[in-house]
Protein backbone atom coordinates (compact mmCIF):
# COMPACT_ATOMS: atom_id res chain seq x y z
CA UNK A 1 0.00 0.00 0.00
CA UNK A 2 1.25 3.48 -0.90
CA UNK A 3 0.93 6.17 1.75
CA UNK A 4 0.64 9.84 0.91
CA UNK A 5 1.94 11.76 3.91
CA UNK A 6 0.13 15.11 4.27
CA UNK A 7 0.49 16.27 7.89
CA UNK A 8 -0.72 19.78 7.01
CA UNK A 9 -4.13 18.33 6.11
CA UNK A 10 -4.98 17.95 9.82
CA UNK A 11 -4.67 21.73 10.16
CA UNK A 12 -7.40 22.06 7.52
CA UNK A 13 -9.66 19.58 9.29
CA UNK A 14 -9.22 21.33 12.65
CA UNK A 15 -9.55 24.75 11.00
CA UNK A 16 -12.78 23.82 9.22
CA UNK A 17 -14.29 22.63 12.50
CA UNK A 18 -13.14 25.71 14.39
CA UNK A 19 -14.12 28.13 11.61
CA UNK A 20 -17.79 27.19 11.85
CA UNK A 21 -17.78 28.18 15.52
CA UNK A 22 -15.69 31.35 15.38
CA UNK A 23 -15.36 34.58 13.47
CA UNK A 24 -14.89 34.79 9.74
CA UNK A 25 -11.27 34.20 8.68
CA UNK A 26 -11.47 37.04 6.13
CA UNK A 27 -12.65 39.51 8.80
CA UNK A 28 -9.97 38.23 11.18
CA UNK A 29 -7.26 38.77 8.56
CA UNK A 30 -8.56 42.29 7.92
CA UNK A 31 -8.70 43.18 11.62
CA UNK A 32 -5.32 41.75 12.59
CA UNK A 33 -2.05 43.54 11.83
CA UNK A 34 0.06 40.45 11.10
CA UNK A 35 -0.38 40.28 7.34
CA UNK A 36 2.23 37.58 6.87
CA UNK A 37 0.62 35.23 9.39
CA UNK A 38 -2.74 35.74 7.67
CA UNK A 39 -1.19 35.52 4.18
CA UNK A 40 -2.57 38.96 3.29
CA UNK A 41 -1.18 40.30 0.04
CA UNK A 42 -3.12 43.58 0.10
CA UNK A 43 -5.75 45.31 2.19
CA UNK A 44 -7.46 48.68 2.15
CA UNK A 45 -10.55 50.02 3.87
CA UNK A 46 -12.77 48.33 1.27
CA UNK A 47 -10.93 45.27 -0.09
CA UNK A 48 -8.65 42.47 1.10
CA UNK A 49 -6.59 40.03 -0.97
CA UNK A 50 -5.19 36.98 0.77
CA UNK A 51 -3.84 33.61 -0.15
CA UNK A 52 -6.14 30.65 0.29
CA UNK A 53 -4.78 28.77 3.31
CA UNK A 54 -6.02 25.52 1.73
CA UNK A 55 -5.40 26.15 -1.97
CA UNK A 56 -6.62 24.37 -5.04
CA UNK A 57 -3.38 25.37 -6.75
CA UNK A 58 -0.19 27.28 -5.97
CA UNK A 59 -0.97 31.00 -5.69
CA UNK A 60 -4.72 30.53 -5.13
CA UNK A 61 -5.95 33.96 -3.98
CA UNK A 62 -9.16 35.16 -2.36
CA UNK A 63 -10.38 38.69 -3.09
CA UNK A 64 -13.11 39.99 -0.79
CA UNK A 65 -14.78 43.17 0.31
CA UNK A 66 -13.91 44.07 3.89
CA UNK A 67 -17.65 44.44 4.52
CA UNK A 68 -18.94 41.11 5.86
CA UNK A 69 -21.84 40.33 3.50
CA UNK A 70 -22.97 37.06 1.88
CA UNK A 71 -23.81 38.46 -1.55
CA UNK A 72 -22.70 41.05 -4.11
CA UNK A 73 -26.13 42.67 -4.04
CA UNK A 74 -25.30 44.05 -0.59
CA UNK A 75 -22.28 45.99 -1.85
CA UNK A 76 -22.32 49.54 -3.16
CA UNK A 77 -21.26 50.31 -6.73
CA UNK A 78 -18.01 51.76 -5.41
CA UNK A 79 -17.28 48.61 -3.36
CA UNK A 80 -17.93 46.48 -6.46
CA UNK A 81 -15.63 48.71 -8.50
CA UNK A 82 -12.84 48.42 -5.91
CA UNK A 83 -13.33 44.65 -5.80
CA UNK A 84 -12.98 44.45 -9.59
CA UNK A 85 -9.83 46.59 -9.48
CA UNK A 86 -8.38 44.30 -6.81
CA UNK A 87 -9.10 41.25 -8.98
CA UNK A 88 -7.35 42.94 -11.91
CA UNK A 89 -4.29 43.81 -9.77
CA UNK A 90 -4.23 40.31 -8.24
CA UNK A 91 -4.09 38.68 -11.67
CA UNK A 92 -1.21 41.00 -12.58
CA UNK A 93 0.66 40.12 -9.36
CA UNK A 94 0.24 36.42 -10.09
CA UNK A 95 1.43 36.89 -13.68
CA UNK A 96 4.60 38.66 -12.56
CA UNK A 97 5.38 36.42 -9.60
CA UNK A 98 4.44 32.97 -10.89
CA UNK A 99 4.11 33.21 -14.71
CA UNK A 100 0.99 31.03 -15.03
CA UNK A 101 -0.45 30.12 -18.44
CA UNK A 102 -4.00 31.08 -17.45
CA UNK A 103 -6.45 31.63 -14.60
CA UNK A 104 -9.73 30.42 -13.21
CA UNK A 105 -11.56 33.38 -11.65
CA UNK A 106 -14.88 32.73 -9.98
CA UNK A 107 -17.20 32.85 -7.03
CA UNK A 108 -19.26 30.27 -5.16
CA UNK A 109 -22.49 31.74 -3.77
CA UNK A 110 -24.15 29.42 -1.24
CA UNK A 111 -23.14 26.06 0.19
CA UNK A 112 -24.72 24.09 -2.66
CA UNK A 113 -22.55 26.06 -5.09
CA UNK A 114 -19.43 25.03 -3.20
CA UNK A 115 -18.98 27.97 -0.85
CA UNK A 116 -16.90 26.96 2.14
CA UNK A 117 -17.57 30.35 3.67
CA UNK A 118 -21.11 31.43 2.82
CA UNK A 119 -21.35 34.49 5.04
CA UNK A 120 -18.58 36.57 3.44
CA UNK A 121 -18.66 36.87 -0.35
CA UNK A 122 -15.27 36.43 -2.02
CA UNK A 123 -13.77 35.68 -5.41
CA UNK A 124 -11.26 32.95 -6.13
CA UNK A 125 -8.32 33.50 -8.46
CA UNK A 126 -6.59 30.22 -9.29
CA UNK A 127 -3.46 30.35 -11.46
CA UNK A 128 -3.19 27.51 -13.97
CA UNK A 129 -0.25 26.08 -15.90
CA UNK A 130 -0.17 23.83 -18.93
CA UNK A 131 0.26 20.36 -17.51
CA UNK A 132 -0.82 21.23 -13.95
CA UNK A 133 -3.45 18.52 -14.04
CA UNK A 134 -2.40 14.92 -13.69
CA UNK A 135 -3.71 11.55 -12.58
CA UNK A 136 -3.61 12.27 -8.82
CA UNK A 137 -7.03 13.99 -8.52
CA UNK A 138 -8.65 11.32 -10.68
CA UNK A 139 -7.07 8.17 -9.28
CA UNK A 140 -6.24 9.20 -5.71
CA UNK A 141 -8.66 12.11 -5.15
CA UNK A 142 -5.54 14.09 -4.21
CA UNK A 143 -4.26 17.46 -5.43
CA UNK A 144 -0.52 18.10 -5.38
CA UNK A 145 0.58 21.63 -4.40
CA UNK A 146 4.24 21.90 -5.44
CA UNK A 147 5.28 24.89 -3.29
CA UNK A 148 4.99 25.82 0.38
CA UNK A 149 2.50 28.63 1.13
CA UNK A 150 5.12 30.88 2.75
CA UNK A 151 7.42 30.53 -0.27
CA UNK A 152 4.61 31.58 -2.61
CA UNK A 153 3.67 34.41 -0.25
CA UNK A 154 7.24 35.75 -0.40
CA UNK A 155 7.06 35.84 -4.19
CA UNK A 156 3.68 37.56 -4.31
CA UNK A 157 4.32 40.33 -1.78
CA UNK A 158 7.28 41.50 -3.84
CA UNK A 159 4.71 42.86 -6.32
CA UNK A 160 2.40 44.72 -3.90
CA UNK A 161 3.03 47.97 -5.75
CA UNK A 162 0.64 46.71 -8.44
CA UNK A 163 -2.23 47.45 -6.04
CA UNK A 164 -1.52 51.20 -6.22
CA UNK A 165 -4.69 52.92 -7.33
CA UNK A 166 -7.03 50.19 -6.09
CA UNK A 167 -8.23 52.53 -3.30
CA UNK A 168 -10.05 54.84 -5.75
CA UNK A 169 -12.90 54.30 -8.17
CA UNK A 170 -14.47 56.80 -10.48
CA UNK A 171 -18.03 55.71 -11.08
Q: pTM of the prediction?
A: 0.82
Average pLDDT over residues 82-107: 96
Q: Is the dihedral of CA 78, 40, 116, 19 positive or negative?
A: negative
- CA dihedral sign, ordered 36, 40, 42, 48: negative
pLDDT at position 21 is: 52
Beta bridge partners of 43: 48
How many CB atoms are located within 10 Å of the residue 128 CB?
Answer: 15
How far is the C-alpha of 42 from the C-alpha of 30, rounded, in Å?
10
User: How many Å from the N-terminal Cα to the C-terminal Cα in the chain?
Assistant: 60
Residue 99 resides in a domain: yes
CA-wise closest residue to 11 among 56, 52, 53, 49: 53
User: Which position has the higher pLDDT, 67 or 16?
Assistant: 67
Given a cut of 60, whether residue 106 has pLDDT beyond it is yes
The whole-number pLDDT of residue 98 equals 96
Residue 49 lies in a domain: yes
Given the residues 120, 122, 124, 159, the one annotated as active site: 122
Is 122 annotated in the active site? yes
- Does the pLDDT value for residue 109 go beyond 90? no
Is residue 3 predicted with pLDDT exceeding 60? Answer: no
% residues pLDDT > 70 (the chain): 78
Query: Would residue 102 count as lying in a domain?
Result: yes
Which residues, in sequence order, are bridge partners of residue 47? Answer: 65
Please tell me the distance from the alpha carbon of residue 125 to that of residue 113, in angstroms, as a whole number: 16
Tell me which H or E stretch contains 75: none
- pLDDT at site 147: 83
Question: CA–CA separation, 105 vs 127, rounded Å?
Answer: 9
Q: How confident is the model at residue 103 (pLDDT cuts 50, 70, 90)?
A: very high
What are the φ and ψ backbone dihedral angles of 48, each rounded to 5 degrees?
A: -135, 140
Instruction: Please state, in angstroms and rounded to a whole number, the distance separating the CA atoms of residues 104 and 125.
Output: 6
Q: In this structure, is residue 95 part of a structural domain?
A: yes
Q: Using 50, 70 and 90 to split pLDDT, how confident is the model at 5?
A: low
pLDDT, position 13: 64
Domain harbouring 124, CATH code: 3.30.428.10
The answer to whether position 71 is within a domain reads yes
Residues 113-126 have pLDDT tens digits of 777 788 899 999 99
Indicate the range of 4-13, 29-38, 40-49 predicted with least confidence. 4-13
Asked if residues 159 and 147 have their Cβ atoms less than 8 Å apart, the reply is no
Residue 13 lies in a domain: no
Question: How far apart are alpha carbons 40 and 151 in whole angstroms?
Answer: 14
- 42-58 confidence digits (pLDDT tens): 999 999 999 998 888 89
Based on the structure, what is the number of domains in the chain?
A: 1
Amino acid sequence: MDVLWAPWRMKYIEYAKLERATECFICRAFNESDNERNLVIYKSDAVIVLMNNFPYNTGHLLVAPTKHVPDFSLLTDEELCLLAKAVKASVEVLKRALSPDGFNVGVNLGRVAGAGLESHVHLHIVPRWSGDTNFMPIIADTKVIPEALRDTYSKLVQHRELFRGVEKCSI
